[in-house]
Structure 1
Amino acid sequence: MSVPATSVSSRAVIEHHLRKASRNSAGGLIDGRNSPAQQPRLSRKKVYPALLSLVAEAFYERITLSDRIKDGLTYKAVFDGREAVDKIAYIIKTTDRNLALLLGRALDAQKFFHDVTYDHRLRDSSHELYQFRSKIPSPFVSGELPNAGNADGMLQHERLTHKLAGIELQGQPGSPTSPKQRDDGSDDTPLPSGVFTLLTDCYAPTCSRDRLCYSIACPRRLEQQSRLNMKPQPGLSKQISRESLNDTTETGSLWIHSVPAEIVASVSDAEKKRQEAINEVIYTERDFVRDLEYLRDIWMKRLREDDIVPEDRRADFLTQVFWNVPEIIAVNMRLRDALNKRQKQYAVVERIGDILLDAVPHFHPFVSYGAHQLWGKYEFEKEKNSNPLFAAFVDQTERLPESRKLELNAYLTKPTTRLARYPLLLEAVLKNTPDDSPDKTQLPQVISIVRDFLAKVNAESGKSENRFNLLQLQQQLTFRPGEEIDLRLTDENREMIHKGTMNKRDGEIHVYLFDHALLFTKFVKAKNHEQYKVYRPPIPLELLVVAAADDGVGSAAGTIRSQRKGQTLAKRNSFEKPKTSVTNVVAAVNIRGETKGQFWINFIYLGRRHYNLMLWATSAVAHRKWLELILKQQQAITEKGMIFDTVPLSEGFFSGPNKVNCAAPYSGGRRVVYGTDDGVYISDLRDLHRDPVKVLALLDVTQVDVLEDYQLLIVLSERQVITFPLDALDQNDPMAGLKRAKRISSHTSFFKAGYCLDRVLVCIVKSSQLSSTFKTLEPIDTNTRGRSKPTFKKLLQGGNDTLKIFREFYIPVESTSIHYLKTKLCVGCSKGFEIVDLETLDTQGLLDPHDASLEFVRRREGLRPMAIYRIHNDFLLCYDEFAFYVNKNGRRSRKNFMVQWEGQPSGFALHEPYVLAFEPSFVEVRHVETGMLTQIIQGSNLRLLFADTPPSVTNTGAHHNQYSG
């Protein structure tokens, strides 16, 4: 096939003059895309269609890559032939598809892209798939190069690309490295070069598109004559090579030519088609085995025998690159021989299904080969770019007649493409097979088995490719000192879902979406190694909120994540269908400030490591893809890790200034009492459609609790602790209950009800910066209460027959929390956790001062002790920064257990085996045995309202199991 491009030897000079001439030439030039968000390298250039390098670069930037399936195999980062011809025709501004196809084949001829099966050149067909030439990332990531002192070796290393080109993950569109030529003359991925003479401008200075040129060799002559309605004049003219537009496919020997004519005449037309299809199965099997034998005899044998690859790694290199080719040869040689024997025995082959049905169950080597193919390519590229002797051998061998002008990669893909071709060949046989033939039942079985193997090849190759990419990134990833984070990229189930580049003011950012986190890096290429430096700390997907430009993507760019009010966290039963939990969705919001370009995405990291990072996608397609994939993976994480779900108890009722400050369940959890700025409300959870009802008209209610055994409501209102009998609450008259109110304390900081020393206790705290006074009371049994009803004024002055004093004590520090243990009281204060013996009133610090492993607590200033939970024989101590275990003697236990909270918790709750930490933007759920983060529940203005089992003699064996937020 001829390609009308100038020879390489004269390209440099001709390109220089044509580039110079093209700056002032209007004909044949087109404007590149000029999107402010994209701003690619050619976005402001004009493309001169005669220069292959310019057309190639423009084509690369415009073509859309995606995953496609052909013959049952998934190919990544591909485009089809029709799309290619469309783009080239657009670039060179022509409606002649044959001309565009011819130019595309000029690019193909220089291996700019190739057919995925390496079988043919560019075709104008939507069924043919093509990939850009790809290279594996440089293996030299340690800073050391083989043959580092060799100038040739260094030059070859410099020519390695720093990205995967055309190799992406299963199910995700690819993003090959853009080919770029450097000023020093070396290429990362060399562009095709040459002059496509059919599209060159005329050298005559007086020539124009509307005036006939004097030159008989003018490239525009035919166009001018057509436009000016002139008859063709004798002389030279250009003719597009039609022969080059029609591939001559090697079809092998036709059946009708291989048997006597009388046999051909004796069979029906349908049988002729069937025999031709059978013949194609047989001769393509011979060709396939011949190709594998070529690998064995020309490549493997010479590499094994000659001193091309160093002997100490020669055997391993052959194994890695060619893997189990000998096993495939053995399987298919038996199949080939059986088919040949059958064809030689009978001129008209009656059946082949029995032979295939016996052979295809042994196709397991195809699966192993497909899974290892990428690793083999990596080893091949590594050796080729570090071993000049091997590179010369490759170049020499690929030029041999036996190679049929195909590079080694074309032969290394033969096993997987052959497996994919079997169903097509056999379906053609089956289509013309009569119903009474044994093949009618056997061939479908063969096709089914082969397709099962294809599915395994796709699955295993996808896993292998994913693992390969993760290992490559792991080697090249570097963190800033002190910011190292283990992304666990080598975990068996880790997955790289998507990767690509996004733009920022200070350059290009490489973004990686894993199944668990989002990573931002900057590529750094030094002389001897390549690195991806972490640009910002990785964001766990559970702590990621995304805001994006609204480009009309619909589901991807939705509304800001729901901000429900008055929600309760409930343990999700294993048999329940997952409900929609509070999780982030992509937000379509207007962010004021610098929003250069329309395809911006703002990545927000919630929690203690909070930051915002705004980046710009390179196109609308990339923008939409990022949003869709991030949202999809976040939803998958939410559904997979859902332990607690959210149930709205009241939505839209408590709004404006009347906010909920506290809540407490009672009546077995069927009712909830709320404390608000303007009073106390009660809600019946058995009827969530009814709004809460106001039962007490009080101001600034900051705490409520219910002692069910005593039918007593305790309220902290305007720093006064007041009790109310539950039967005094009137849903129709909020003032009625005040008549039976009893003031217990004033100037109160907080109170806490609980169970200790086999009794229900209420501890009232008056705390200042220097000291805290504690008054512990216990309820008076209703059977012993007095029956007289004193006046409301007398009650507020101190009358009390609901709680009686049990113990009083004093601590010379500020206190913030109280926790009831079995026989003692634990106080959270500025000094840490203090243990108070309520019988002797002795006080001592919880942590053993002689335990050196607790120095990290003692040295830390400003720590806030917040919660303590007994887990088996140990105590889980929860501070506002971390959590760890101590034993009953206050010494560190479970030393491998340490939780660093993602957020800044304002409250904690326990529901074994999980502990929940509440902060305003999310709730993190961790396992108490491992400390592992198991769930994140995002929200807005989240607060812990109640987190304990209601104090009751009947509830002493129950764990904390009721939460409101």
Structure 2
Amino acid sequence: MSAAQQKRTSRPIAEGRISPTSLRSGPVRKTPIVYPALLSRVAQAFHERIPITDRIKDGLTYKDAFDGREAVDKIAYIIKTTDRNLALLLGRALDAQKFFHDVTYDHRLRDSANELYQFRTRLPSPFVSGELGQEQGTDSHAFFEVWVSPTTVGISPTPSPAPPMRQRRDSMSSDEITLPSGVFTLLTDCYSPTCSRDQLCYSIACPRRLEQAARLNMKPQPGLSKQISRDSLNDVPDDGTLWIHSVPQEIVNSVSDTEKKRQEAINEVIYTERDFVRDMEYLRDSWINRIKEADVIPAARLTDFLAQVFWNVHDILAVNTRLRDALSKRQKQYAVVDRIGDIFLDVVPHFGPFVSYGAHQLYGKYEFEKEKSANAAFAAFVETNERLPESRKLELNAYLTKPTTRLARYPLLLEAVLKHTPNDSSDKAALAQVVVLVREFLAKVNTETGKTENRFNLLQLDQQLVFKPGEEVNLRLRDEGREMVYKGTLNKRDGEIQVYLFDHALLFTKLVKTKQHEQYKVYRRPIPLELLLVTAPQEEMSGTMRSQQRKNQTLVRKSSFDKGRAMPSVVSAVAIKSDNKTQHSINFIHLGRKYYNLVLWASSPLSQRKWYEIIWKQQQAMRERSVIFDTVNLSEGFFSGPNKVNCAAPYSGGRRVVYGTDDGVYLSDLRDPNQHPVKVLALLDVLQVDVLEDYQLLIVLSERQVITFPLEALDPHDPMAGLKRAKRISSHTSFFKAGFCLNKVLVCIVKSSQLSSTFKTLEPIDQNIRGRAKPTFKKLLQGGNDTLKLFREFYIPVESTSIHYLKTKMCVGCSRGFEIVDLESLETQGLLDPNDESLEFVRKRENLRPMAIYRLQNDFLLCYDEFAFYVNRNGRRSRKEFMVHWEGTPTGFALHEPYVLAFEPTFVEIRHIDTGLMSQVIQGSNLRLLFADTPPSVNNSAANHGYQQPNPYQHGYVFLLSTL
């Protein structure tokens, strides 16, 4: 034997296709994975190894299915045989005990890739059983399952019960499934103690006899022999259902071979329609009517039970009876049927009941199995009824699936007719149109069935969730439109974590089993997808994720609401050296004040990549649905190193931006995207800049000094030129704020300490008035101020942090809250009414920071660093149903009706001002608010500068900076 031959001989059988050579004609290549004669062991190994996924057959989608060829392959691999017929027989022994079933319940296991099968599943109860639970003493969390007595043809039953099977990690069933039991005698060991592989056994019934004879090169001996399985072949119609046997021979001889095939196809459509109507009549007569007469279900629940289980079977029966009668009448009138398309065109538009039935089928199955588990009398009735001759050895579930499977068969049957229909026949176009209509109904069935299954699973999970005390979160799993996008198991040192990805949040749970039922304990607080950041070791990130990482967000401005462009996903990578401990790890980060970082491990790189991609895809879908603000890069990569941007102010119709940085003031012209910002003022520690465009003034806070500059003095080629015309307004300044109040532009300069604050409000002097008297030489020598003049000055005995201009008054944010200052009388009073008890939650909080106030209609929206609410002009709580608790810790706010934006270092939280609901979240890193105001002077300066487009200042601008 050559080395290649030896290598082929010693190679173990792979888990794929196995050549159909006989097990008995050659040696077994390897010891079976389990003892092949015990059905329970084979079933458990099969269930753990067979891959299940969503499959499509005849236009219908079947969940968690596998095909017949895969099943035979896997069984042959488990018992280590190359005889596919033997593996098929063993698979049918499992099928006989209803371990799995054909999706249409029409036949047993077949060695075919076109036949789909599903495991027998249990339906956990997501509902409180109500009166059924009270009468039968069942638990509302109980799991129900239906089993009938196992068929033991060709199987020797074992007296001991089979061990329970562990749940598949990807299975929706959360309880253990009972395994088939029995002995498959063809694969048992020989009972003779002297039997061996190298010597012919004396017993002709020895399971090793053929193998021994082949090894010893002996002629076949009488005994067991292999028979070709015919069950794997397609069904062949009986002679009684063929068209050629239903018409006189002279008619058969008078038509062409093509027409014969067409008539056979039409005949199949008609007789299968008669069979389907007969099945629906069987449901009506043998189940619905007998249940009514049998008195096995309490009268109070009988009507609802029949409605839930059989739903609109009567409507389907009515439609298809009409179709059957029309087809039968046409067949009786004409021995050679010329057309049937017109009949279908008349009836198919009324196929709506099929869609309703398919969508409700899961709930019907649940109600049937729940009643059967809880009601012994009904269970006995079901078993007796399923054994009657008219059931044709099929259980009720087989008949309950026939409406959906019948709808799926119509395109196949009619396309067979189309195939043999001449092009000049009037039936050609009609049948093609019918096929299109039926496929539309099939698509609706798939869609509605998917929605039903999704809702059922969500209700089930919602019932089973257990939160830690004080950490309850309303995930709104029962809301209409809620979707379970993906689920799977990830690993942690203390065990497996079941992770659920919904359309709006990510949930981590841990399975907890009790004697009565199973529950899912919430492992960590659920993360809204807007606040979810997923990171991984750099080496393990896919190309898609790495490309997204390079898209750094910088400055953001408000764009048109008509834009539907999604924002780039912000996904950072953590540079971790790849080793055994960090392989396939995923970091789930909850952004905001509820921050935590949970590290879990996937079982493989494929699973890790799957989680990343599906989470990223769902976050992208959310952004596309809720995009309100998009990102626009104004400057990227220029400000780096120690030169940090602290503030910014747009002017010239938003086409120019002034930046304040640690080493000076920079000017950027956005009309030239290739031009970098240019330094125009050599200053240090510039913390604030503002432009009063109508007065051609630039106001700068540098090294705690407020300085003004004329805009025309800003020379991009000489950073020192503007300093020659600088005017110092104030020193030891904490901050300043320009705004519009009392019908005039004001600039308020604040000097604040822990105990007091001094406010100086000034008015700008118009620098553009022609003929204005020039300052005297003496005033120039004294450094006189011809840019701002004093308007009011006042004092507050508390530390102040912000200023907000109202229509006629000024609002100061300070350690006591919001204080209202009358600039004419200089009287000061607290904004909140001390007699309003509904505001106690504000007064009792310590270290609460008031940050922004906005007048909206007749109310004021007050934004603190923890929450936001409304008060009226008297300081009393209004819109009491409105209350926002910020997800993050905001450092700045902006208003663009109807949204308020809260900026915190890792994201921007955008909420609707009427509902308080979150509308959008923009993630980033080191986010800081640079500018968020409508400029105080708006005279359509864009038009004055010759620009044609409208001034975007009328809507306000929002800028933020991201430095990664």
Bin for the TM-score computed over the shorter chain: 0.7 to 0.9
Structure 1 equivalent of residue 88 of structure 2? 101
Letter in 1 for 2:171: P
1:114 partnered with 2:101? yes
Q: Distance in 2 between matches of 1:766 and 1:239?
A: 101
Q: Distance in 2 between matches of 1:538 and 1:716?
A: 44
Stretch of structure 1 that moved more, 615-624 or 355-364? 615-624
Stretch of structure 1 that moved more, 917-926 or 603-612? 603-612
1:629 partnered with 2:614? yes
Structure 1 equivalent of residue 896 of structure 2? 911
CA contact (8 A) 2:869 2:883 kept: yes
CA contact (8 A) 2:124 2:143 kept: no
1:507 partnered with 2:507? no
CA contact (8 A) 1:785 1:802 kept: no
Structure 1 equivalent of residue 646 of structure 2? 661
Q: Distance in 2 between matches of 1:550 and 1:781?
A: 57
CA contact (8 A) 2:548 2:568 kept: no
Q: Per-residue deviation at 1:522?
A: 3.0
How do residues 161-310 of structure 1 correspond to structure 2 at under 5 angstroms? 175-177=170-172, 188-202=176-190, 217-226=205-214, 228=215, 230-232=217-219, 234=221, 236-237=223-224, 239=226, 242-243=229-230, 245-246=232-233, 251=238, 253-310=241-298
CA contact (8 A) 1:366 1:416 kept: yes
**Structure 1 361/244 Cα, relative in aligned 2: closer, same or farther at 3 Å?**
closer
**Structure 1 770/551 Cα, relative in aligned 2: closer, same or farther at 3 Å?**
closer
Q: Per-residue deviation at 1:241?
A: 5.9
Stretch of structure 1 that moved more, 811-820 or 948-957? 948-957
CA contact (8 A) 2:586 2:601 kept: yes
Instruction: Choose the corresponding residue for 2:842, options 857, 865, 872.
Output: 857
CA contact (8 A) 2:348 2:434 kept: yes
Q: Per-residue deviation at 1:712?
A: 1.3
Q: Distance in 1 between matches of 2:699 and 2:140?
A: 81
TM-score by length of 2: 0.87
Structure 2 equivalent of residue 10 of structure 1? none
Q: Per-residue deviation at 1:564?
A: 2.6
**Structure 1 815/206 Cα, relative in aligned 2: closer, same or farther at 3 Å?**
farther
Instruction: Choose the corresponding residue for 1:773, options 758, 778, 801.
Output: 758
**Structure 1 303/122 Cα, relative in aligned 2: closer, same or farther at 3 Å?**
same
% of aligned pairs identical? 71
Q: Distance in 2 between matches of 1:230 and 1:912?
A: 91
1:467 partnered with 2:467? no
Q: Distance in 2 between matches of 1:668 and 1:952?
A: 12
Stretch of structure 1 that moved more, 98-107 or 694-703? 98-107
Structure 2 equivalent of residue 53 of structure 1? 40
Letter in 2 for 1:584: V
CA contact (8 A) 2:552 2:570 kept: no
Query: 1:532-575 CA distances to partner (integer Å, 9 max, x unpaired)?
Result: 3332222111111122468978456445634636413222341x
1:581 partnered with 2:573? no
Larger RCO (CA within 8 A; separation ≥ 6): 1
Q: Distance in 2 between matches of 1:478 and 1:759?
A: 59
Structure 1 equivalent of residue 681 of structure 2? 696
Structure 1 equivalent of residue 154 of structure 2? none
Q: Distance in 1 between matches of 2:325 and 2:465?
A: 51
**Structure 1 545/595 Cα, relative in aligned 2: closer, same or farther at 3 Å?**
farther
CA contact (8 A) 1:353 1:443 kept: yes
How do residues 460-499 of structure 1 correspond to structure 2 at under 5 angstroms? 460-499=448-487
Instruction: Choose the corresponding residue for 2:822, options 826, 832, 837.
Output: 837
What SS does structure 1 have at the residue aligned with 2:267?
helix
Q: Distance in 1 between matches of 2:673 and 2:773?
A: 36
Stretch of structure 1 that moved more, 955-964 or 336-345? 955-964
Letter in 2 for 1:682: L
Instruction: Choose the corresponding residue for 1:329, options 291, 310, 317.
Output: 317
Structure 1 equivalent of residue 945 of structure 2? none
CA contact (8 A) 1:926 1:934 kept: yes
Letter in 2 for 1:460: E
Structure 2 equivalent of residue 81 of structure 1? 68
What SS does structure 2 have at the residue aligned with 1:104?
helix
Q: Per-residue deviation at 1:414?
A: 0.5
How do residues 339-488 of structure 1 correspond to structure 2 at under 5 angstroms? 339-488=327-476
Q: Distance in 1 between matches of 2:479 and 2:282?
A: 39
Instruction: Choose the corresponding residue for 1:923, options 905, 908, 917.
Output: 908
What SS does structure 2 have at the residue aligned with 1:838?
coil
Q: Distance in 2 between matches of 1:366 and 1:177?
A: 26
CA contact (8 A) 1:78 1:129 kept: yes
Q: Distance in 1 between matches of 2:689 and 2:813?
A: 20
CA RMSD of aligned residues (A): 3.0
**Structure 1 845/376 Cα, relative in aligned 2: closer, same or farther at 3 Å?**
same
Structure 2 equivalent of residue 6 of structure 1? none
CA contact (8 A) 1:88 1:100 kept: yes
Q: Distance in 2 between matches of 1:58 and 1:324?
A: 40
What SS does structure 2 have at the residue aligned with 1:713?
strand
Stretch of structure 1 that moved more, 913-922 or 608-617? 608-617
**Structure 1 556/192 Cα, relative in aligned 2: closer, same or farther at 3 Å?**
farther
What SS does structure 2 have at the residue aligned with 1:571?
coil
Q: Distance in 2 between matches of 1:811 and 1:292?
A: 85
1:881 partnered with 2:836? no
What SS does structure 1 have at the residue aligned with 2:755?
coil
**Structure 1 785/906 Cα, relative in aligned 2: closer, same or farther at 3 Å?**
farther
CA contact (8 A) 2:124 2:144 kept: no
Instruction: Choose the corresponding residue for 1:896, options 873, 877, 881.
Output: 881
CA contact (8 A) 2:736 2:750 kept: yes
**Structure 1 788/673 Cα, relative in aligned 2: closer, same or farther at 3 Å?**
farther
**Structure 1 247/395 Cα, relative in aligned 2: closer, same or farther at 3 Å?**
farther
**Structure 1 377/300 Cα, relative in aligned 2: closer, same or farther at 3 Å?**
same
CA contact (8 A) 2:128 2:140 kept: no
Structure 1 equivalent of residue 813 of structure 2? 828
Q: Distance in 2 between matches of 1:155 and 1:52?
A: 33
CA contact (8 A) 1:159 1:189 kept: no
Query: 1:689-745 CA distances to partner (integer Å, 9 max, x unpaired)?
Result: 110000011111111111112211111111111111111111111112111222211
CA contact (8 A) 1:563 1:939 kept: no
Q: Per-residue deviation at 1:485?
A: 2.4
Unaligned runs of at least 5 residues, structure 1: 1-25, 31-45, 162-172, 181-187
How do residues 644-683 of structure 1 correspond to structure 2 at under 5 angstroms? 644-683=629-668
Structure 2 equivalent of residue 733 of structure 1? 718
What SS does structure 2 have at the residue aligned with 1:415?
helix
How do residues 781-796 of structure 1 correspond to structure 2 at under 5 angstroms? 781-782=766-767, 783=769, 784=772, 786-787=774-775
Aligned length: 898
CA contact (8 A) 1:815 1:829 kept: yes
Query: 1:752-803 CA distances to partner (integer Å, 9 max, x unpaired)?
Result: 11111222211111111111111222223334574467999x77xx643322
**Structure 1 959/894 Cα, relative in aligned 2: closer, same or farther at 3 Å?**
farther
Q: Distance in 2 between matches of 1:155 and 1:221?
A: 56
Query: 1:180-234 CA distances to partner (integer Å, 9 max, x unpaired)?
Result: 8xxxxxxx311222233333445567766667667655434433444x4522463
CA contact (8 A) 2:506 2:527 kept: yes
Query: 1:116-145 CA distances to partner (integer Å, 9 max, x unpaired)?
Result: 111122222222211111221135657997
What SS does structure 2 have at the residue aligned with 1:878?
strand
Instruction: Choose the corresponding residue for 1:961, options 935, 948, 956.
Output: 956
What SS does structure 1 have at the residue aligned with 2:133?
coil
Q: Distance in 1 between matches of 2:412 and 2:37?
A: 40
Query: 1:233-289 CA distances to partner (integer Å, 9 max, x unpaired)?
Result: 635445356345546555562112222223222222111111111111111111101
Q: Distance in 2 between matches of 1:763 and 1:832?
A: 19
TM-score by length of 1: 0.87
Q: Distance in 1 between matches of 2:703 and 2:752?
A: 15
Letter in 2 for 1:922: F
